[in-house]
Amino acid sequence: MSVAGGPSFFSVDQGLLSSVTVGQETAPFSAVSVLPSSTQASELVVGGNVGVDVKYMFTEMLGGGVFVRWAGASVDLPTTGGVQSIDVGGVQSGVGLRIAF
């Protein structure tokens, strides 16, 4: 069994809604036009990670294992109305073959 933890670096590139223009058509006013506009926001942020890896060796060189790890951070992206906070990362898990050489 091994346990790991440390910093994680996240690069976030997100499209954000910047404004919405609503207009009415001329008579008989049966249609409304909605025109959204968006901007791109990018940030580089440092978060953290922690994980566990459990392995069992069938032979001296061949085995199997499972892992679970979490990595995450919170990113504050500037918008026209202020700041949009987005949580990034999450839980990962997997099963795999372990080969020792």
Structure tokens at 20: 């919405």
pLDDT value for 99: 93
Tell me phi and psi for residue 27, to 5 degrees. -50, 140
* Amino acid at position 27, single letter: A
What lies within 8 Å, CB to CB, of 66 at 6+ separation is 53, 54, 93, 94, 95, 96
Q: How confident is the prediction along the chain (101 residues), in pLDDT tens digits per residue? A: 999 999 999 999 888 877 788 877 767 767 777 888 888 888 899 999 999 999 999 999 999 999 999 999 999 988 777 888 889 999 999 999 999 98
Global confidence as pTM:
0.66
∠ at Cα 8 (90, 101), nearest 5°? 95
